[in-house]
Amino acid sequence: MKFNKVSLKKSKKLDEFIKEKKLESTLNEQALESTLNEQTLKETFKHCSDVTFSHLQFHHEPITLIYCTGLVSTDMLYKTVPKKLESFLKNRPSDFTEEALQALQLPTLQVVTSTEEAEMEIFSGKLLLIFRSEETIYSVDISDRPQRDTEDSNIEIAVKGPRDNFIEDITINHALIRKRLRTTSLISEKFEVGKRSKTKLSILYMADIVDTATLSEIKEKILSIDVDGLYSGTQLEELINDDHPFALFPRHSYTGRPDFAVQSLLDGRFVILIDGVSFAYITPINLFFLLKTAEDSESNYLYAAFERLLRVLGIAVAAFLPGFWVALTAFHQNQIPFTLLATVVESRRGVPLPTAVEAFIMLILFEVFREAGMRLPLSVGQTLSVIGGLIIGDAAIRAGLTNPAMLVVIAASTIATFTLINQSLVGIVALIRFFVITLVAFFGLFGFFVSVFLVSTYIAKFHSFGVPYLQIASEMSLKNTLKALIKLPDQLDNKRPNSMNPKDKTKQGGSS
């Protein structure tokens, strides 16, 4: 009984404490509302040259309009809004009640109650209305933020697929997905990240497909973000994967094509849209998902399967071919066929540099060309990469800095990276290439096999929200191997990936 009385007293004290806090919060809000007026807003925006205060008068009623130039529709501002206000004040109501204000017929008319809310509304492209006779501030949505039209992506080239790609506006990106998935199963949850930037962010998923545990984990990670501003998807990836801040491989994929985002949603994955970013981010993923492209679904399954196998070969060639070649030519010449060995020895005559140093120089040279080609305009960059590579390569051979065989190997490994669509993966492969050559330079073939083992072990330890990065190794079977590496005909590809742990495991409209 004593225990119950003590518990009851504690419960009453807790209730009283909560009531006091609520009352204090209410009083603070009322105090804030009472101080929110035109003078307060002028003080708030006095250093914002793009925020304009305009004063109008209709039928002896002074009105102040506050807006951010460049973010509002000029037609609405100079034509529609003044006409609506004049018509409304011509038959001026005795009181500005909510019912009376409906006669204004302005889009999303609502009351603004705090300075922070006023900042958010103005910088979102909304118009603030202040009636001098009233102590209330209203916001009207007349936003017309600068944006570009949906167009082809420079990274994901559309041959047969749709060309209405994502842009930097989250509302339009959301609509591009919604028009392809006309179902209430598609859920969109909105968040605001960044104390200063207040960046809009949306998580999209299929409610009757996705794993609820993964959903809870992603939402918890996003809600725990505490930064001044969010300005890129890579930054978001690092923030929500804070358990491995120095992770090399990407745990999210990205796409500029809505059709590929829809395909990922139907597989049980999550799509994250960020306002100001022209890509959709997809999670969870594995290594083999990074080798898939949106154009695969537009190709014949045999050709798409062949292309995927080429990409798997491409990532192996890009990462390990230079190191393997250096190991053979520098340490294990007896493993090279005699005819090829004679050619290599003849071509290296007069080259003063060790094989490993020669490979390093050529790799760095090709990386410089690739980086320069990316930073220059598209047409100039492609010309520089091709012509510059040919001219400098030929000059390096003539100067005795390298030999033709080494140039071919380095060029082949560099070109192999172009089979990869994910640019984050391309950068990681380049780093692995240097790591492999470093070990090979000291230990030969032993160093090569050690590097392969270390890289494979590192990748095997990776998880993307519980999904193993090497899905084939974790669920070894012929069916899983085929589904991961190649594209099956649609009649056979009727199951969602087991690694996503989907509620509805079939793609044929029913659970099994």
What are the pLDDT digits (tens) for 179-191?
999 888 999 999 9
What is the predicted pLDDT for the residue at 461?
Answer: 87
Look at residue 16 in the predicted model and tell me its pLDDT.
52
pLDDT in tens, 205-255: 999 999 999 999 999 999 999 999 998 888 998 888 767 777 888 889 999
Share of the chain above pLDDT 90, in %: 30
b/e burial code for range 100-116 (CB count within 10 A of at least 16 → b): ebeebebeeeeebeebe
The encoded tokens of residue 234 equal: 């890579």
Question: Among the three residues 252, 285, 318, which one is the final residue of a domain in this structure?
Answer: 285
Q: What pLDDT was estimated at residue 509?
A: 54
Q: Are 446 and 361 members of one domain?
A: yes
In a domain? residue 148? no
Domain boundary among 250, 285, 320: 285
On whether both 114 and 199 belong to a single domain, the answer is no
What per-residue confidence (pLDDT) applies to 94? Answer: 62
Q: Same domain, yes or no, for 237 and 344?
A: no
Sign of the CA dihedral running 109, 114, 120, 126: positive
**At 333, is the pLDDT very low, low, confident or very high (cuts 50, 70, 90)?**
confident
pLDDT tier, 501 (very low <50, low <70, confident <90, very high otherwise): confident
Whole-number Å distance between alpha carbons of 417 and 429: 8
- The rounded distance, in Å, linking the Cα atoms of 202 and 101 is 32
- With respect to residue 314, please indicate whether it lies within any of the assigned structural domains: yes
- What DSSP character marks residue 403? -
**Could you report the per-residue pLDDT of 108-133, keeping only the tens digit for each?**
888 888 888 999 899 989 999 888 77
For position 382, what pLDDT does the model report? 65
Residues 302 and 422 in one domain: yes
| Phi, psi values for residue 62, rounded to 5° | -70, 135
409 in a domain, yes or no? Answer: yes
Examine the pLDDT at 463 and tell me if it is beyond 80.
yes
Mean pLDDT for 460-489 is 74
* Percent of the chain residues topping a pLDDT of 70: 85
- Whole-angstrom Cα distance, residue 291 to residue 472? 14
- State pLDDT tens for residues 25-68: 443 444 444 457 888 899 999 888 889 999 888 878 888 999 99
Mean pLDDT value across residues 299-321: 90
Same domain, 188 and 264: yes
Q: Is the pLDDT of residue 161 over 80?
A: no
> Could you tell me if 272 and 201 are in contact, meaning their C-beta atoms sit under 8 angstroms apart?
yes
458 and 327: one domain? yes
* Predicted pLDDT of residue 96: 65
Domain of 310 in residue numbering reads as 298-468
Indicate the residue type of 447: G
Q: Give bridge partners of residue 188 from the DSSP assignment.
A: 204
Q: Is the pLDDT of residue 512 over 60?
A: no
Q: Clarify whether residues 14 and 98 are in a common domain.
A: no
CA distances from 166 to 78, 151, 190 (A): 31, 8, 18
Mean pLDDT of 271-282: 93
Residue where one domain finishes, among candidates 285, 319, 338: 285
Report pLDDT digits (tens) over 343-371: 888 888 888 888 999 999 989 988 888 88
Asked whether the predicted pLDDT for residue 447 surpasses 60, the reply is yes
CB 269 within 8 A of CB 283: yes
332 within domain boundaries: yes
21 lies in the same domain as 46: no
The per-residue pLDDT for 496 is 83
Q: Tell whether 8 is covered by a domain.
A: yes
> Has residue 4 got a pLDDT over 50?
no
Ordered alpha helix ranges (H), 115-257: 115-122, 170-178, 212-223, 233-240
- Residue 293 is predicted with a pLDDT of 85
Q: Hey, what are 470's tokens?
A: 């090497």
**Is residue 162 situated within a structural domain?**
no
Domain count, the chain: 4
In a domain, 52, yes or no: yes
Do 314 and 371 have their domain in common?
A: yes
Tell me which of 27 and 466 has the higher pLDDT: 466
Residues 348 and 460 in one domain: yes
Residue 97 — pLDDT band, cuts 50, 70, 90?
low
pLDDT, one tens digit per residue, over 126-155 is: 999 888 777 788 899 998 887 777 766 666
DSSP letter at 291 equals: G
Task: Tell me: do 187 and 62 sit in the same domain.
Answer: no
Q: How far is CA 126 from the centre of its chain?
A: 27
Is the domain of 241 the same as that of 181?
A: yes
Range in 184-198, 243-257, 462-476 the model is least confident about: 462-476
Distances (CA, A) of 249 to 245, 308, 454: 11, 19, 14
For residue 402, pLDDT beyond 70: yes
What pLDDT does residue 99 have?
Answer: 64
Q: How far is CA 68 from the centre of its chain?
A: 28
8 A C-beta contact, residue 462 and residue 473: no
Question: What one-character DSSP code corresponds to residue 80?
Answer: I
Asked if the structure places residue 184 within a domain, the reply is: yes
Q: Alpha carbon of 168 to those of 44, 176, 250, 279, 392: distances in Å?
A: 28, 12, 22, 8, 39
Beta bridge partners of residue 205, listed in sequence order: 187
Return d(Cα 209, Cα 263) in angstroms, integer: 13
